[in-house]
Amino acid sequence: MKLYFTLHRKLLASVFYLSFCVAFFTTAEAQNVAVKTNLAYMGVAASPNASLELSLGKRTTLELGGGLNFWNRSENKSTKHWLMQPELRYWFCESFNGHFIGLHGHGSQYNIGGWNIPLGRLKSLKDHRYEGYLYGGGLSYGYQWMLSPRWNFELSLGGGYARIHYNKYPCITCGSKEDEGDYNYLGITKAAVSLVFMID
């Protein structure tokens, strides 16, 4: 479990530093700010998540988002992880309204097992536990609807690449490492159904 607290500290520090700089050193005209939560991520992974999105100009924004889950679903199922996924967006009409395309990166640490879900090379996820980390990036497309002066609704979907490093164990809570390796994943890397609250 040391993996959750030791790996990628520099990545987390860099993301927080970048968000601080963007929030406090952009011009007054670029101070539109929104907070959001991804309802799909909350529903599928039962993971608290939040994003801060900052306007960088009339048609560009920077979303700083992430989520975490540090508990087991049950005795036989685990979805422990943290995820950071920043995204730079270009809006075709104006920021926080209509169509957009995005360029996102991602970094995560995970400890999962007990699920009957085929995930590429991790086919034995039901009977084994995998622990490791991943990083990568991708492109996304989305649309945001204005519901009221303060509330928006957003749908987005993205695909890209992830380099996954894993250690394989025989069960959720026990056993010695059976295997380790790396896996190159190409496919869906982002899916969001988000409720957005405009702060400014």
Kindly report, residue by residue over 17-70, the tens digit of the pLDDT: 444 444 444 443 445 899 999 998 877 667 789 999 999 999 999 999 999 887
CA torsion 124→157→49→100, rounded to 10°? 160
Could you give the 3-state DSSP secondary structure of residue 23? helix
This prediction has a pTM of: 0.77
Confidence of residue 163 (pLDDT cuts 50, 70, 90): very high
Tell me which residue has tokens 């685990």.
78
Tokens of 44: 């599928």
Residue 196 scores a pLDDT above 50: yes
Q: What is the pLDDT of residue 124?
A: 61
- Condensed to tens digits (0 to 9), the pLDDT of residues 3-32 reads 444 444 444 444 444 444 444 444 434 458
Mean of pLDDT over the chain:
80
Question: HSE of 140 in the Cβ direction (CA atoms, 13 Å)?
Answer: 27
CA torsion 43→47→48→51, rounded to 10°? -80
Domain 3-198 indexed as CATH 3.40.50: no
Residue 159 scores a pLDDT above 50: yes
Q: State in Å, rounded, how far the first CA of the chain is from the last one.
A: 40
- Condensed to tens digits (0 to 9), the pLDDT of residues 86-99 reads 999 999 999 999 99
Of the candidates 96, 112, 93, the residue with the CA atom closest to the CA atom of residue 44: 112
